[in-house]
């Protein structure tokens, strides 16, 4: 029986690239998304790999719908081995021009959707003591940016929820793995359907990475569980700046405001916050001429831990040498 992977928001961009990669590696794939038309085309594309495919129309901000989807996947495809919480939405606008309803909706689709997906997966994985849950996050989940306050807050919340749950799984001696995948700016269709009231179209600041690189990192963490994965050097730099010099990081993030916008005027866009934008959009966005082609630019928490252990070892050797010098008997020189 094929391993079963579930991908939310799997009909476009990173989610679609991830669904393709799972299917190409022999996994049966279930995709949960809202738009029925894109689900049909996604099912046809994934079927070409010759593995079982199931597509389900559901809004991932609806906990009951997510539970029902999980039950259907278990019944029709088999035991869920990997669950990828990828669905998201955002509003691009100064924070004080975003309405309470919009804050609530972004929180539901970007944070609570990951909670609901995680809980649905755990109901099946935890009794079997097997499975991987992958939270798709962003560098903005530890270094917030201007113009995306609801999205940044939601991604911060994902990390807090996941870390808390991970402690509980460790306490329970569970073999279910939890991974957070932190992403950089990515060339996806999301930029053309985001709700936007800045008066300018949204831009992806350099460096821009390929959705397929993100998919490689996600599938790697499903098959080789890691606590965290950072995709792209910009994500690593954001994490380091926030940890070491947060005040400086604030100033650099403020300077990024104009780089997030194009020079072209644009009327306010409703986007896909409340309902999907119809039509097939594929994996790639409009920044193909600036997209880095690499498929290997991601680093895991295991590599970080080994690096830190190396630094700690060097520091300990230095301290031991200093202590030995301090303890050595001092020979007094004869008076001249």
Instruction: List residues with catalytic annotation.
Output: 151
Query: How many CB atoms are closer than 10 A to CB 178?
Result: 24
In sequence order, what are the residues at sequence separation of 6 or more whose Cβ sits closer than 8 angstroms to the Cβ of residue 331?
Answer: none
- How many whole angstroms separate alpha carbon 218 and alpha carbon 231? 10
From 188, 178, 190, select the one nearest 285 (Cα to Cα).
188
Q: 24: part of which helix (H) or strand (E)? A: helix 13-24
Question: Locate tokens 């996600």: which residue?
Answer: 218
Four-CA torsion 143, 147, 152, 153, nearest 10 degrees = 120
Contact call for residues 256 and 234 (beta carbons, < 8 A): no
Check: CB of residue 222 under 8 Å from CB of residue 132: yes
């Amino acid at each position: 029986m094929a391993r079963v992977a579930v991908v939310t928001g799997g009909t476009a961009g990173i989610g679609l690239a991830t669904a393709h990669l799972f299917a190409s590696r022999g996994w049966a794939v279930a995709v949960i998304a809202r738009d029925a038309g894109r689900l049909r085309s996604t099912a046809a594309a994934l079927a070409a790999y010759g593995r079982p495919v199931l597509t389900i129309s559901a809004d991932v901000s609806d906990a009951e719908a997510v539970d029902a989807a999980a039950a259907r996947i278990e019944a029709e495809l088999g035991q869920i081995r990997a669950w990828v919480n990828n669905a998201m939405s955002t509003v691009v606008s100064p924070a004080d021009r975003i309405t309470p309803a919009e804050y609530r909706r972004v929180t539901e689709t970007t944070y609570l959707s990951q909670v609901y997906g995680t809980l649905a997966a755990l109901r099946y994985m935890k009794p079997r003591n097997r499975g991987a849950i992958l939270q798709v996050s962003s560098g903005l989940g530890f270094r917030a940016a201007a113009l995306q306050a609801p999205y940044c807050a939601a991604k911060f919340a994902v990390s807090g929820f996941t870390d808390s749950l991970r402690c509980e799984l460790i306490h329970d001696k569970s073999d279910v793995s939890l991974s957070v995948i932190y992403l950089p700016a990515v060339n996806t269709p999301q930029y053309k359907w985001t709700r936007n009231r800045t008066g300018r179209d949204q831009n992806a600041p350099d460096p821009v990475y390929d959705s397929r690189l993100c998919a490689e990192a996600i599938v790697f963490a499903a098959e080789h569980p890691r606590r965290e994965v950072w995709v792209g050097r910009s994500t690593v730099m954001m994490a380091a700046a926030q940890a070491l010099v947060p005040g400086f990081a604030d100033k650099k993030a403020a300077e990024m405001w104009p780089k997030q916008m194009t020079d072209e005027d644009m009327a306010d866009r409703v986007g896909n916050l409340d309902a999907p934008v119809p039509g097939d959009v594929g994996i790639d966005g409009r920044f193909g001429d600036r997209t880095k082609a690499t498929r290997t630019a991601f680093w895991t928490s295991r590599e970080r831990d080994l690096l830190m252990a190396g630094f700690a070892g060097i520091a300990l050797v230095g301290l031991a040498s200093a202590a030995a010098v301090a303890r050595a008997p001092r020979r007094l020189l004869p008076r001249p």
